[in-house]
Structure 1
Amino acid sequence: MQAIETARSEQMADLLVSLALADGSASHRYCSSEALTSGREAVRNLADAAHYLCVLHGRFPGVIDHALNRTSHPAAQGWLSAAAEAFAAERSLLTRLAVATGPLPSTPGQAECEAAVLQQRHALEMLAQSDRAGCALGAAIALALDWRAIRAVLDAAARRVSIEPQACVLPDEEETRTVAMTVADTPSFERAMSFGAQQLLNQHRGLWDLLEAREAARTRL
């Protein structure tokens, strides 16, 4: 029985990591595109990304902070506390970049874009404050796993404005896998974690879709 429980827990950890790789920012063509980080329009594109990522994740409390308050599983408390502290530095970087990269580039449909990102932020807030045990934690884990790809974009933006960002100290994949394996003790908790992770990744992909569409709209001007 113990071997079965261990195998199931390992599968849960594998699932969360696989979701981040397959459905997260790293697999989105625009997030890793040359047009975003080093193309002719990179300055405007990076400013766009910095501003909208700041709208999504630049406010306190954020996804991880809410999850810390919503998650009672003792095995997750240490991970969430460390992740919340680390993300405070990421939030500070987002704010600095939103200021340093200048105003949002003029883009058709600006009001609609603003409304869409505000809706995404609201969706993340609701997800991170869900009463369904495991949902908020799954979202927080997905954010930590997906942030590595997002941070690469932020680092590119920082280089453009001569900011030297400190290293990201969010819990690494191994630490995150360990926590996921430890807390995945019931099928219902696992399902909630998977749902929370998938929904957060969907919001991130939606943001990259929006940023890609905005870049295309600017090139048509």
Structure 2
Amino acid sequence: MAGRCAIASIVDQEGTLSCDHAAALCTPDAAARDVADAVHVLCQLHGSAPSIVALAARSDGAEAVGPWLEQAVAAFDEERAVLAMLTAAVGPIPSTPRHTQAEAAINSQRHALGTLAQSTRAGCAGGAALAFLLDWHAIRPVLDSAAQRAGVALPRAALPARAAIIALAEHVAATPSQARALAFGAQQLALQHHGLWQLLRARAEARAAL
């Protein structure tokens, strides 16, 4: 049960589901500019190739989950295409105070996630990629809400189901050391995404204060 407890609990408690701003963006009262900002920033962070999933699948530290992740690469490539389409549909990124500093923070996050996904520590990259796929299930409703506002139809996400991701984590976390490495990668990913939503909330508050 180590994989289930570590991966799922970490992602649910520390990732997107724990962030009020992400939930608020899915409500009818959310400001259109805040929704558009989230879509643009998510595209900046996760819209480029290779994705975190692709990097982890080819990492020397992810041998145990690499073949499984390779099958998920194409699915997330479809999500990257969704991000690109949705970014165009929601219009330009809203003007926000201290945008240059935010750009720097996003670039720093992208670098940190890329480094994490290529970690050579056995299990770390795999844990990060599995956590990313789990957390994307929480991020997708934000994209669906943005699409509904923009009047565009998104295809259903073809990502692996939560149950399949958790089952793989359970299988891989066969020893305490493997479980710890998976959990470490998952926690680092969740913290990066938590920071992302904090940044987006701060940008929304800065715009509201104008």
Using the size of structure 2 for normalisation, the TM-score is 0.94
Matched, 1:153 2:142: yes
Conserved 8 A contact 1:63-1:136? no
Query: Is there any run of 5+ residues in structure 1 with no aligned partner, and where?
Result: 1-9
2:88 aligned residue (99, 102, 123): 99
* Match in the other structure for 1:51: 40
Once the two structures are superposed, the pairs formed by residues 158-173 of structure 1 within 5 Å of their partners are 158-173=147-162
CA distances 1:125-182 after superposition (whole Å, capped 9, x unpaired): 0000111111110011111111111100001111121211111121112111221111
Q: CA deviation at 1:82?
A: 2.5
CA distance in 1, matches of 2:30, 2:109: 29
Q: Which of structures 1 and 2 has the bigger CA Rg?
A: 1
Once the two structures are superposed, the pairs formed by residues 174-185 of structure 1 within 5 Å of their partners are 174-185=163-174
1:131 aligned residue (98, 101, 120): 120
Matched, 1:39 2:29: yes
CA distance in 1, matches of 2:105, 2:28: 26
Matched, 1:24 2:15: yes
Matched, 1:207 2:196: yes
Moved more, 50-59 or 171-180: 171-180
Conserved 8 A contact 2:16-2:138? yes
CA distances 1:45-95 after superposition (whole Å, capped 9, x unpaired): 11100110011110111111011101222xx24431222111011100111
Matched, 1:110 2:99: yes
Conserved 8 A contact 1:37-1:157? no
* Match in the other structure for 2:63: 72
CA distance in 2, matches of 1:72, 1:21: 25
Matched, 1:186 2:175: yes
Q: CA deviation at 1:40?
A: 5.6
Conserved 8 A contact 1:37-1:46? no
- Kindly report the root-mean-square deviation, in angstroms, between the aligned alpha carbons of the 2 structures: 1.3
Matched, 1:198 2:187: yes
- Identical amino acids, percent of aligned pairs: 45
Q: CA deviation at 1:15?
A: 1.9
Q: Quick one: which amino acid aligns to residue 113 of structure 1?
A: A
Q: CA deviation at 1:185?
A: 2.5
Number of residue equivalences: 208
Query: Is there any run of 5+ residues in structure 2 with no aligned partner, and where?
Result: none
Conserved 8 A contact 2:132-2:189? yes
CA distance in 2, matches of 1:171, 1:215: 32
Using the size of structure 1 for normalisation, the TM-score is 0.90
CA distance in 2, matches of 1:77, 1:197: 16
